[in-house]
A = this chain, B = another copy of it.
Amino acid sequence: MVSLTPRAERLLKALIEQYIADGQPVGSRTLVKQAGLEFSPATVRNIMSDLEELGLIRSPHTSAGRVPTERGYRFFVNTLLAAKPLHSIDLAHIEDRFQSEQDPQQLLESASGLLSQITKLAGIVRVPRRTYAEFRQLDFLGFSADRVLVILVTHDGQVLNKVIHPKRPYSPAELQEAANVFNSAYAGRTLEEVRQSLLVALERDSEDMQKMLRSAVEMAHQVFTGDQAQEPPLFVTGESNLFAFPELSNTDRLKRLFDAFTAKQDLLHLLDQSMASQGVQIFIGAESGYDALEACSVVTAPYEVDGHIVGTVGVVGPTRMSYDRVISIVDVTARLLSGALSHGGSGSRDPAPA
């Protein structure tokens, strides 16, 4: 990374803060006045010239002021930024909301909503993969000769359901029996483990399985394979906040951005990426690697359930955002969410039958 003189750093910091505040290219004189610098505009111009050579700032045109480049933002975020403690009102707001929410899914959706409300940007939340959830039980409900509703419940109270079409009709008693056998065989393992065993079980010769279990396995397998598509793995909230930013108001850019929000594919990859490491991560402009996020930055932080990272919360906004504010909001939200999901709130722990 480039190293700058303390003065240049101070200048760059002031410039970026000023630009973030009002979105106008900032000139030497304004900068001296606004930041209360003790040297003259001319000196500032010299330093700016250096910064421009380093690729940290640039001039939209000759007689405009300077604007940070993505590289400039990156430097700013890496070395100049002092995380700003969160306003206590916001903090209380988040805590309140998490306290009153029960259902883990709703908790996640709330988190996304809160992020977008507080930051006035778009909030995103990566829902935990169900693969790692623990299987609890499964029920088969016959609806007609060829339609059976399968309901799958995980240890943490998530419910999946799917209508499947068995090869032959089953009586209610048979279905009940099949569920019982299946449940005692698989309860307590993760969904992924169950899925794997099902695959193996199906490949093996059916002789060595009880007839009932075989049916159960076949039907359950249908649920497990259809799994992914079933529910949104990602919450996006407050997209329309982004209309407020002139730098994004280009219709074409907006369309691509909104398409990305709908398709979710790219965002998902990005969030999965950021699950790999602890703490807040920031993708500035092209760093995300997705065209749709061209003039945008994404700030993310993973959240945990009982000490394991299971998902990510984050915020999407224009590169010109108050990183200090946003970073602490995202950070705190991730922490509080982890807390709410882990202990009392709901989300896990032994289902002691009282």
Contacts and interface: CB of A to CB of B under 8 A. Distances in A.
A226 B162 CA distance: 22
A349 B144 CA distance: 8
Given A243-B255, A258-B243, A352 B149 contact: no
Interface string A220-255: 000000000000000000011001100001011011
A78 interface: no
B143 A157 contact: yes
Contacts of A89: none
A157 B149 contact: yes
Given A169-B354, A244-B255, 14 more contacts: A103-B162, A141-B351, A142-B353, A144-B350, A144-B354, A145-B354, A147-B157, A149-B159, A170-B354, A171-B354, A172-B353, A239-B258, A243-B255, A249-B251
Contacts of A141: 136-137, 153, 351
A273 B194 CA distance: 47
A259 interface: yes
17 contacts: A102-B163, A103-B163, A137-B141, A139-B139, A142-B351, A144-B349, A144-B351, A145-B352, A147-B346, A147-B351, A149-B159, A159-B159, A170-B354, A171-B353, A240-B259, A240-B262, A249-B251
Contacts of A157: 143, 147, 149, 163
A349 B258 CA distance: 40
A254 B243 contact: yes
Q: List the 6 closest A-B pairs by CB distance, nearest first.
A: A169-B354, A143-B351, A243-B255, A159-B161, A240-B258, A145-B354
B159 A151 contact: yes
Contacts of A239: 258, 262
Contacts of A244: 255
Nearest to A243: B255
A: contact size bracket: 35 or more
A159 B149 CA distance: 9
Nearest to A165: B102
Interface in A122-150: 136-137, 139, 141-145, 147, 149
A157 B150 CA distance: 10
Interface string A168-180: 0111100000000
Contacts of A254: 243
A133 to B, nearest CB: 13
Interface in A41-100: none
A252 B246 CA distance: 11
Contact of A144 (B145, B147, B161, B352): B352
A346 B171 contact: no
A237 B254 CA distance: 16
Residue among A149, A169, A354 with max Cβ neighbours from chain B (10 Å): A354
Nearest to A254: B243
B144 A153 contact: no
Contacts of A143: 157, 351
Interface in A184-232: none
A113 B137 CA distance: 33
A151 B151 contact: yes
Nearest to A141: B153
